[in-house]
Structure 1
Amino acid sequence: MPSRETTRRIPGAVVPAARRIHGVLLAGLRAVGAKIAGTLGRRPVRPRDRGGLGVAHGAVPAGVTVFDDAVPAVARLDPALLSALRRAGAAAAAAGIELRVNSGWRSPEYQSVLLREAVTKYGSEAEAARWVATPETSAHVAGEAVDIGPPASASWLSEHGAEYGLCRIYRNEPWHYELRPEAIEHGCPPRYADPSHDPRMRR
């Protein structure tokens, strides 16, 4: 007969003490796991490491804004573009909007990796060209383009960007902006359907 020290009685059953201990431990582990998951969820997300090409080549950590000089993707943008972005960023902040940089300057090596990934994703070079330029033609590699997020921020810039000479260039990329100083007086030019329709991409 089991001793009192190893069992307890409940209506219609006898539960070994070991099972009770197992249940307590399992509940504790679940609680600790939930706490760790919650903590990790609040940590900044590191940029994806593409073949060892990280922040120095243009990868952007989460939460970077147009004011972050320490990040090469921002600091190596064309100075005129960066100045316009920061003027727009100040105005956006006054309206409660933060202009974050999802992508900016990129090294040729990083752009090559992105292009290879796009070919794999879309199944052909022609289809990939609708989304990613070659290193030789990319405005990002030249420091002349920036991708803005989140969507609410890109939407704000779409509405107000012309005041700062900042224009959307492609209809399929609501996040992609370039500097067009003439837009301040004349408005932004018509958008290309996608990069494959941009004459600059055919060099």
Structure 2
Amino acid sequence: MVAIARSTALAPRVAALAAPPTLRAGANGPSVVTLQKKLAAAGFNPGAADGDFGPKTLAAVKAFQQAKGLAADGVVGPKTWSALNAATAPKPPPPASSGGSGPTLRVGARGEPVRALQNRLNALGYKVGAADGDFGPKTLAAVKAFQKAKGLTADGVVGPKTWDKLGIKVQGPSTPPSSGGRVVTGYVNGVPRQISISSIPGGKSMRSDAAAAFTRMHAAASRAGINLHVNSAFRSMEEQRVLYQKYLNGTGNLAAKPGYSNHQGGIALDINVGGTGTSTYKWLAAHAKEYGFVRTVPSEPWHWEFRP
């Protein structure tokens, strides 16, 4: 009877020893090291796993608690330990049939397959913002980051291998990028390079990613009653030479030396704004940055460049 009584009396003490201790700022020791490692594994930086519950660890605990909907008091009790254990528990391997498939997508593509791609990237932590069905600069950056993380060629083109790693199956075609896609010789800081250019509304051309962004911006402006008429976009070497000579003769606007104009790189365009007081200019000033375009020449309100 005595032995049974002693075992029963010891049971609560053994359970208490097995449970993680409550930790708060100022604590130290192996339990704090465990806490710091779990915070780091969950994506919340506590600093070095040195066993000291200092300001960085406190900030990481509060951020984790807030993210998990807990009281962000910085005290690591049972609820916080439970959430940390759940967040850092080993994940089961995906089933063998988890590969995905879909149409080949690249910058400028639009439609439901792009929306499905964007939703999947967002869910995996590769943030593209709103899943709007437009394959623009943010989606391109997210795709490249995903491809790099998965050991794929980070070219931004979503083909069979990328779909397989994404693990989703998407049906249906997408709208292709802007028409064009010609490979031409462009120039960046005097250095010739091959670039792909695509057509934009109005018959001009830009580098393909810039063309896709401008096409979206043009459509948004049209919906607002604004017509973005482009006077000049991509320029060949000969076209730049003509404009530069006019500038030297005093019969034309400011023009860069041939080979050094951003028009020759396919990222610049001149829009007929009619001055800074017009509705066209005001619309661009308010919205162009949303599409990656900025005004870069203070003396030229018509000159905008694609710099996402």
Scaled by the length of structure 1, what TM-score is found? 0.48
Q: Which has the higher contact order (CA 8 A, sep 6+)?
A: 1
